[in-house]
Amino acid sequence: MHEVTILVELVKMVESAAKENNVAMIDTVTIQIGQLSSIVPRYMREYYPNTTEGTILEGSKLKIEMIPGNGLCHHCDKVFNVAKNKGKCPICKADDWELLSGKEFNLKEIIVKEGQS
């Protein structure tokens, strides 16, 4: 499960940003996961408490926002959800498209516990 490895790196990244900004405790971490990425949100939620144990993120919340897997059809210029439409444009049924979004993994926001700077 590569989610654990991703979470360990996420914790390191947040701890580094917190250290640079003299923050002692984190309240919430918001990440964005692309619908077409190989990252399983359920596993991220499940293993987050274990990977934050003993860190400044311990007890913090993990928020996950999903980024849709959108493609642009090269035939009719329609933007469509690739997964929902099984890789075929819902308008012209072409399977010649360019991926616009859906493979991302982003650290979007870090919220500090009240009373921190």
Question: How many alpha carbons lie under 13 Å from residue 3 in its C-beta half-sphere?
Answer: 17
pLDDT tens digits, residue range 30-61?
999 999 999 999 999 999 999 999 999 999 99
Polymer length in residues for the chain: 117
What distance lies between CA 26 and its chain's CA centroid? 18
CATH architecture of 2-68+102-112: 2-Layer Sandwich (3.30)
Q: What is the pTM of this model?
A: 0.88
Q: Which two tokens stand for residue 91?
A: 């308008």
Q: Per-domain residue ranges for the chain? A: 2-68+102-112
What pLDDT band is residue 82 in, cutting at 50, 70 and 90? very high
